[in-house]
Chain A
Amino acid sequence: TAEPRNTDSFDFSRYHTISEIYSFQDMLVAENPNLVSKIVIGQSYEGRPLNVLKFSTGGTNRPAIWIDTGIHSREWVTQASGTWFAKKIVTDYGRDPAITAILNKMDIFLEMVTNPDGYYYTHNSNRMWRKTRKPNSGSSCVGVDPNRNWDAGFGAPGASDNPCSETYRGPSVHSESEVKSIVDFVKSHSNFKAFVSIHSYSQMLMYPYGYTKTPCKDQTELHNLAKKAITDLASLYGTSYTYGSIINTIYQASGNTIDWTYDQGIKYSYTFELRDTGRYGFILPADQIIPNAKETWLALMAIMDHTSKNIY
């Protein structure tokens, strides 16, 4: 395939392989050395680097925002949106007052392919793969649901203990290197103020908790901010979202990412389910990638703007 020579010629309106996305990351860093750097926070089970782009205008260990896409590998519109977010940040910094103000105060960390083994597998073996690719001892079934492997209500209802299930929680908390790497990074950084984990395709914006009906202590603020975010999102194409706590909006989900991040004290912890507004599900046509990314960006900006104006 014709490899783009720079990120301006990268085609954001089509789905890309993992090597194309990793090349894009290196090009973006090379083109924006004063704003973007790449941190490898660990390795996947099959030995792929877990790449995180850091967008920073200086300072040391500034308060930070985390965004991840692709933790469920078949949800292709999320990795594609993450790639578009990265370009949007470098394009708008210095031009758009809002993102400029955020970056003059905070760092943004973006992991586009959070489950690289699964993503590679969806391109080469099984388009419908969701989980990681680590074998499960004693079972012929492979992989753990990386959004059930976190130390927050692990083992409670809302995940499966069956290795063959799509929601298999794994043998123990943080047993997947893709999860453990983020856990270690977040703990060592210790100054994250917002954490956003992105899925598709139920069109929802959710905050903790997923494993319990007990409301989180910041429920009112998180609910109001979610409402604002999805109102901004809908302003572009009218895409309607529902919002609320995970357990009240989608279903009980234990051991999920943002329950753990919230319990670490990261108040603005959210998870998105991006669109399908039609009947394509995970096979969303590529021409919907950019509209998806653009509307989602409006919601992300609402969350990041609020975070930067309410650093705690």
Chain B
Amino acid sequence: KETFEGHQVLRIVAKDETQLSLIKNLEDMVEFELDFWRGVTDVSTPVDVRVPFHSLQSVKIHLESRDIEYSIMIEDLQVMLDEEQQEMESAAR
């Protein structure tokens, strides 16, 4: 079973079109193994991206060095998934 320990989902907010296109470029950085939950649309809509643990630091440095603001939407995805699974099982019981 695929697990996601330490994976975080970042919510990235572009200040302007320039930053938006920088965020768009992230889609092509396959080395980060990013999973876009909510893709780039427009400046007013945040971008949500799941970042594997091993590329978290690089991605955050990449964003911070370009002064792109982000917040941590999900601190640890696996913790949430475990809670979801437990809720399903207890509800079923």
Contact = CB atoms under 8 A, between A and B. Distances in A.
A29 B62 CA distance: 54
Interface in B46-93: 48, 50, 73-74, 77, 80-81, 84, 87-88, 91-93
Contacts of B84: 15, 127, 283, 286
B12 interface: no
A6 interface: no
A282 B73 CA distance: 12
B15 interface: no
A172 interface: no
A250 interface: yes
B48 A127 contact: no
Contacts of A2: 92-93
Interface in B14-71: 35-41, 45, 48, 50
B39 A250 contact: yes
Contacts of B77: 283
Contact of B74 (A127, A251, A281, A285): A281
A280 B50 CA distance: 12
Interface string A123-149: 011111000000000000000000000
A263 to B, nearest CB: 24
Interface centre among B37, B45, B81, B91 (most CB of A within 10 A): B37
B91 A14 contact: yes
Interface of A: 1-2, 11, 13-15, 124-128, 166, 201-202, 249-251, 279-283, 285-286
A250 B41 contact: yes
A282 B41 CA distance: 18
A283 B9 CA distance: 11
Contacts, number: 60
B69 to A, nearest CB: 15
A125 B38 contact: no
Give me the 8 closest cross-chain CB pairs, A-B, nearest first.
A1-B92, A126-B2, A14-B91, A279-B73, A283-B80, A281-B37, A250-B41, A127-B81
Interface of B: 1-2, 4, 9, 11, 35-41, 45, 48, 50, 73-74, 77, 80-81, 84, 87-88, 91-93
Nearest to B73: A279
Contact of B91 (A11, A124, A127): A11
B23 to A, nearest CB: 12
11 contacts: A14-B88, A125-B1, A127-B2, A128-B4, A166-B36, A202-B45, A251-B39, A251-B40, A281-B48, A283-B77, A283-B84
Interface centre among A2, A15, A281, A285 (most CB of B within 10 A): A281
Given A125-B2, A281-B9, A283-B84, A1 B93 contact: yes
Contacts of A282: 37
Contacts of A13: 91
A285 B35 CA distance: 20
A90 to B, nearest CB: 23
B88 A202 contact: no
A128 B52 CA distance: 12
B75 to A, nearest CB: 10
A87 B63 CA distance: 46
A249 B38 CA distance: 13
Contacts of B91: 11, 13-14, 286
A65 to B, nearest CB: 28
Contacts of A280: 74, 80
A250 B37 CA distance: 13
A15 B93 CA distance: 13
A249 B37 contact: no
